């Protein structure tokens, strides 16, 4: 954890961009999963 923190301090800009991408991917994949589950639920209801 300490090493990761040092990396973050050394390159905050790069890490912020990386985390931004990760969060967007998580949100998009989460939304897609919810939509698929909703469609499956409607199909088998």
Task: List Cβ neighbours of 15 (8 Å cut-off, separation of 6 or more).
Answer: 7, 8
pTM higher than 0.85: no
Distance (Å) of CA 12 to CA 4, 23, 27: 11, 16, 22
Distance (Å) of CA 41 to CA 28, 35, 37, 38, 45: 20, 10, 6, 5, 6
Task: Please choose, from the candidates 26, 45, 44, the residue with its C-alpha nearest in 3D space to the C-alpha of residue 34.
Answer: 26
Joined together, the tokens standing for residue 38 give 């909703």
Higher pLDDT, 10 or 41: 41
Average pLDDT over residues 37-42: 95
Higher pLDDT, 15 or 11: 15
pLDDT of residue 6: 58
């Amino acid at each position: 954890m300490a090493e990761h923190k040092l990396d973050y301090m050394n390159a905050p800009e790069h890490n912020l961009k990386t985390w931004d991408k990760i969060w967007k991917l998580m949100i998009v994949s989460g939304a897609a999963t919810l939509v698929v589950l909703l469609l499956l639920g409607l199909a088998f209801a």
